[in-house]
Structure 1
């Protein structure tokens, strides 16, 4: 079988929504080529392994690459992707150059080409994320290993928004907590919560691919007895008393369900929000305060922001 590589030259701000569009249109694996990765200084306490070729990276912006089967529907699929990406401008998302290119790639190349980007990554004091095909030996007795197959959906869980979310979960989660993951994607935040001691995790996503991916990854990490995943629009019709709610999605989406998050948290409960670009930080902060939350922390990594708030 022949495959076509679609490459979208865009901005860091557009990575999450465009990646979601590509997965929804049937892309098998998404690769992010961000020139910041070439110069990033990593904290010594977390070990990130990169095998990168500078020639493959843009001078500005990012490349988002995905793989589509070459068939009679390819042209239609590409047009759908272009239209969906252009529609993001309606949400004031900067698309940068917004250039789309296609190139053909054979199945043998495709099967291994994207795997070179994914290596074991220690993203917090305890948690290391590894792709399923990598052999990895824990370096400490308290290290928590999460296995993910980035070919299924939503990448490897090492994007700054995910790292910030997991670091906050690790800090604020208490043993036997009840956790809600809103917009679960690959399920990595739900899995991290379960492995760090949550008694019960409810994972919601409107996307069927995300629901399937979370279920598969949960079984892979032997957390499926703890994680309950189902298709749902944000927190619509959800009535629980959670200890922690975590959501790694766009700022514009977070502000839509802040009141529902308040209603589903016990007094003293923690609301962890990520996926927020710098330009939208104040929007989310104001929204959280208006709903009655106390802001505990605002953490930043590259151009991304995570906010930890408490129901008082």
Structure 2
């Protein structure tokens, strides 16, 4: 089915009202995006922040009355520049496949989607079978990349691992494929737990990796390595908890940290961990350390 696409550039203050008008006009979909590419990180609980300049993309049935929509937006929203475009129907699953290919991390580690042939990768490749999905963590973000690089450079052979804030479970899967004996994935999002269990099964690692919700993490035991790819403020809040989960001499790898937030991570974790070091990629950082 084809669609009529309408794109409007408005201010933050207009966003809610304009979206309500568009839905009232019969829009089947309204999406917000940033007009000026200004990032928003770590909003407060309960807040849904918007950028100062917002782009709204709305979809209408192909038979929608464009003149009526345009006149209504001009009258009630004071929007004069209204442009429509025909959005041809496509197989959106195939569109996704065009943008997601096998990716290499470090020397040996690869993520390969199901529609690509992993036998074409180097003979020494350690392959994670994973498609993009709803949960965070398929290697494309710098924070996940930093954690995968760490595992490739420091394969946890014979170790026990916790992947905290696991998202898709990608880090636990990588750890086990690089030699870890066992791993536990922990996340506070039920969708992430479901995604993790599916990816564990796809990689045939059910006997070595388990996944649980944070409500059930009381069963966790101390491990040799804890990896947490979340955000800086939660990492600070979890510092004491993490210290109880890592064995003496064990390692920690923390990601999801912006460059300007590194000092507060080092300050918090310096109480429990030695030899803290930082690795940076673009604006994001990873902090590594050894449990005292």
Q: Is residue 281 of structure 2 the alignment partner of residue 305 of structure 1?
A: no
Q: Is residue 195 of structure 2 the alignment partner of residue 213 of structure 1?
A: yes
Correspondence list, 1:72-91, <5 A:
88-90=42-44
- Aligned residue number for residue 64 of structure 1: none
The alpha-carbon deviation at position 274 of structure 1 amounts to 0.5
- Aligned residue number for residue 240 of structure 1: 221
Distance change in 2, residues 1:89/1:162 (3 Å): closer
Which shifted more, 96-105 or 175-184?
96-105
Q: Give secondary structure in 2 for the equivalent of 1:218.
A: helix
- Aligned residue number for residue 204 of structure 2: 222
- Kept in 2, the 8 Å contact 1:131–1:156? The answer is no
Structure 2: where are the runs of 5+ without partners?
10-25, 33-38, 60-86
Correspondence list, 1:246-257, <5 A:
246-257=227-238
Which shifted more, 199-208 or 107-116?
107-116
The alpha-carbon deviation at position 136 of structure 1 amounts to 3.3
Deviations 1:237-268 (A, max 9, x none): 35412000001011111111111111111110
Q: Is residue 57 of structure 2 the alignment partner of residue 102 of structure 1?
A: yes
The alpha-carbon deviation at position 109 of structure 1 amounts to 4.0
Distance change in 2, residues 1:73/1:88 (3 Å): farther
- Aligned residue number for residue 127 of structure 1: 109
Distance change in 2, residues 1:147/1:236 (3 Å): closer
- Partners of 1:6 and 1:249 lie apart in 2 by 35
Structure 1: where are the runs of 5+ without partners?
10-70, 80-84
The alpha-carbon deviation at position 110 of structure 1 amounts to 2.3
- Kept in 1, the 8 Å contact 2:113–2:130? The answer is yes
Correspondence list, 1:1-312, <5 A:
88-90=42-44, 97=52, 99-104=54-59, 108-154=90-136, 156-232=138-214, 237-290=218-271, 292-312=272-292
Distance change in 2, residues 1:114/1:101 (3 Å): farther
- Kept in 1, the 8 Å contact 2:118–2:127? The answer is no
Distance change in 2, residues 1:201/1:6 (3 Å): farther
- Partners of 1:97 and 1:127 lie apart in 2 by 40
- Partners of 1:155 and 1:109 lie apart in 2 by 24
Distance change in 2, residues 1:155/1:162 (3 Å): closer
- Give the structure-1-normalised TM-score: 0.67
Asked which structure has the greater RCO (Cα within 8 Å, sep 6+), the reply is 1
- Kept in 2, the 8 Å contact 1:3–1:110? The answer is no
The alpha-carbon deviation at position 74 of structure 1 amounts to 5.5
The alpha-carbon deviation at position 101 of structure 1 amounts to 2.1
Give the structure with higher Rg (CA).
Answer: 2
- Partners of 2:205 and 2:218 lie apart in 1 by 25
Distance change in 2, residues 1:97/1:125 (3 Å): farther
Distance change in 2, residues 1:211/1:94 (3 Å): same
- Partners of 1:93 and 1:272 lie apart in 2 by 29
Deviations 1:17-61 (A, max 9, x none): xxxxxxxxxxxxxxxxxxxxxxxxxxxxxxxxxxxxxxxxxxxxx
The alpha-carbon deviation at position 284 of structure 1 amounts to 0.8
- Partners of 1:4 and 1:178 lie apart in 2 by 53
Q: Give secondary structure in 1 for the equivalent of 2:218.
A: coil
Q: What is the Cα-based RMSD across aligned positions, in Å?
A: 3.4
* Count of residue pairs the alignment pairs up: 241
- Partners of 2:6 and 2:183 lie apart in 1 by 35
